[in-house]
Amino acid sequence: MIPRYLVAFVGASLITSAMLLGMNEVARRLKERDPTQYFQISSFIPAPEDRRPRRPPAPQARPELPQIEYATPLDADVPLSVPTVDPDRLASPPLVPEPSPGATPH
């Protein structure tokens, strides 16, 4: 159990120190670079010529949506058929089971 903790501690220490040294190197390189290179990945949108903001175009009118005409006919009856029920199958089971003839009482 202790060797596992030692291996985990050593591994975590190595990973942490590698990350700190790596980030230190990255920060040093960025600091030594030309300041204009920081903005290479940015794309700037040029301002309008008169330097005043323009109003966005008005939204177009929504197109007419198709309408579905739905009406239920008044004489539409749902066919109803009553199922047949067998009264013998509906008999409730006995609440107390009857003892089997070969069983001995406790």
pLDDT tens track for 40-96: 556 666 666 777 777 888 878 877 888 887 776 666 666 677 778 787 777 676 677
5 compared with 50, residue with greater pLDDT: 5
Dihedral Cα 15, 16, 20, 21, nearest 10 deg: -40
Q: At 69, is the secondary structure helix, strand, or coil?
A: coil
Which position has the higher pLDDT, 79 or 38? 79
Instruction: Give the CB-side neighbour count of residue 1, counting CA atoms within 13 A.
Output: 0
pTM value is: 0.31
Query: Residues 6 or more apart from 98 whose CB is under 8 A from it?
Result: none
